Amino acid sequence: MTSPVGTGPYRSQQPPPPSGPPAWDGPPPGDPNRARPNIADQVKALSSRLSIRWRLTITYGAMFFAAGALLMFVMYSLVGWAIKDAWPPLGDVEPYIQDFWNSKRLESIEVAQTYVLQRSLMALLGVGILALILGYVVADRALRPVMQMTATARRLSDTSLAHERIDLQGPDDELKELADTFDAMLTRLNSAFDAQRRFVGNASHELRTPLAINRTVLEVALSDPEASEDLKVLGRTLLGTNARHERLIEGLLLLARSERDLSVRKSVDVQDVVKTAVDQLAPFAAEEGVDVEYDLHPAQATGDPVLLERCVSNLVENAIKYNNGSGGKVWVRSGIVDGASVVQVANTGILVPAYEVDALFEPFRRLHADRIESAKGAGLGLSIVRAIVRAHGGTVTAVPRDGGGLVVTVRLPGSAPATTPSAR
């Protein structure tokens, strides 16, 4: 981390490095039986690697050179015809004089055509180079609306669909029609996203009330001193099931909220957020027998402090929950890396295959058990983390850790540092 000021019991140590299975990054092994590609295949492969701008430029240049060559052929022929038609006749003269006169005519035609051909080739070469340059400029100008659409598509996310469109101005041509079609598609996508979020939010709200009623009824029944032991066992089981359903509903509510555009944007020190989350989960870590070590440095970000705290809490809680049990470890650190505010959480645990990591960020997904063995949680923790990070314009990545467990790294766009002193 770049800041020399930090907090935590292992500030002088290096946390476990992110690592994963070795990847083959060299050239593919050669096949001695594979036939070498011919020239036509090589040309086709080369053309497929050229950008559309260069392909348009080469097309413009080839068309210009073809038109220039045709014009040269026409001029070459016209010069010969013009000299032949304009050559004065001698009338009635001796045959040897007539032959001499005709030979001079042919010689003049040949000299004139050679002169025109040489000068035309030089002119075609010079103007051809200029045509290639102008072709590149014209291709760039013609592709500018496409570049604008590409840039807009890259900027778009599910949180900016409501207020950002291409809105291409100009004549009603093919590019304008493509841009309008793309804008209409964005509008439909935004409506679909909004309908989905409203459905999740409304359904979650509607489900909270009966669950709260069930919990109250069960607690009243368990508090009755005359209740039988079988009834108490059944009540405690139903209370546990009801509590899991309540956690699921709360997770759905938070997921729906975090996928919307941020309503609160303020400067926040990620160090304070991480420290608060670690302190809140310290009793849970002690109960599970997991040792949490942290190395925290100041890192300013802009966003919703409540959502950011929930994001870090989910990471730390998952790191504690899916650990080796008694004797397990969790490492947490924060700081500035390459201008971005970074939070990294690593833990010991079971070996995680690299191909399973991305699936863990999907809702209701767990390692080796999608909806089975779900007593530890609802399977929404990492989904909520990803939704919150995306809403803040950041990225979250996870890689397997050597020896088991995961290393999860959250990167948020940095902001100007605050004037308040950092925690020590």
pTM over 0.75: no
Condensed to tens digits (0 to 9), the pLDDT of residues 242-275 reads 877 777 677 667 666 666 666 678 889 999 999 9
DSSP annotation of 361 = G
Model confidence band, residue 19 (pLDDT cutoffs 50, 70, 90): very low
pLDDT higher than threshold 90 for residue 64: no
Task: Name 103's Cβ contacts closer than 8 Å, sequence gap at least 6.
Answer: none
3-class SS at 176?
Answer: helix
Average pLDDT, the chain: 77
DSSP annotation of 325 = S
What average pLDDT score do residues 388-395 get? 86
Least confident of 83-92, 142-151, 365-374: 365-374
Q: What's the CA gap between 144 and 161, in Å, rounded?
A: 22
Q: Which residue has the higher pLDDT, 113 or 8?
A: 113
Which top CATH class is 266-413? alpha beta
pLDDT score for 32: 46
Condensed to tens digits (0 to 9), the pLDDT of residues 202-244 reads 776 777 788 888 888 888 888 888 888 888 888 888 888 887 7
Q: Could you state, in order of their start, the residue ranges of all structural domains in the chain? A: 39-155, 174-258, 266-413
Return the half-sphere exposure (C-beta side, CA atoms, 13 A cut-off) of residue 98.
7
CB of 164 closer than 8 Å to CB of 155: yes
Please identify which residue in the block is written with the tokens 């979020």.
197
pLDDT higher than threshold 80 for residue 112: yes
Phi and psi dihedrals of 85, rounded to 5?
Answer: -75, -30
pLDDT score for 158: 53
**CA-based torsion, 283, 286, 290, 296: positive or negative:** positive
What average pLDDT score do residues 337-357 get? 86
pLDDT score for 138: 83
pLDDT score for 422: 38
User: Residue 410's beta-bridge partner residues?
Assistant: 343, 396
What average pLDDT score do residues 265-286 get? 90
Tokens of 100: 């001499």
Provide, for the chain, the percentages of residues in helix, strand and coil under a 3-state DSSP scheme, each rounded to the nearest 5: 55, 10, 30
pLDDT score for 2: 41
Domain at 174-258: CATH code: 1.10.287.130
Q: Report the percent of the chain where pLDDT is more than 70.
A: 76
Task: Name 4's Cβ contacts closer than 8 Å, sequence gap at least 6.
Answer: none
Tokens of 137: 């400029």
- For the CA atoms of 208, 320, 346, 19, the dihedral, rounded to the nearest 10 degrees, stands at -100
Phi and psi dihedrals of 309, rounded to 5?
Answer: -65, -40
Q: Which of 372, 172, 391 is nearest to 260 (CA)?
A: 391
- Cα angle for residues 87, 89, 90 (degrees, 5° grid): 135
Q: Which residue has the higher pLDDT, 185 or 417?
A: 185
Q: What's the CA gap between 414 and 337, in Å, rounded?
A: 9
